[in-house]
Amino acid sequence: MSYIAPKMQAKFETLSIDLKNRILERDVTIHDTKDLVRILEEIVEETEDNNN
């Protein structure tokens, strides 16, 4: 089960519903912006790999 820290909730809510769902599916913990960026980078890499 993913965890989004309260201080990150506002930033998380600015993302598209599809992106939020992809993040939540990963069972991750997001405490700060660094965590969020790392997860977004992983998603981008996976997407690029799947498109090649």
Residue 29 vs residues 7, 10, 15, 16, 51: alpha-carbon distances, Å: 13, 15, 16, 18, 27
Could you tell me if 33 and 6 are in contact, meaning their C-beta atoms sit under 8 angstroms apart? no
pTM, two decimals, is 0.88
Given a cut of 90, is residue 6 above it in pLDDT?
A: yes
pLDDT for the residue 37: 97
How confident is the model over 8-23, as pLDDT tens digits?
A: 999 999 999 999 999 9
How confident is the model over 23-44, as pLDDT tens digits?
A: 999 999 999 999 999 999 999 9
- Cβ count near 1 (within 10 Å): 6
pLDDT for the residue 52: 85
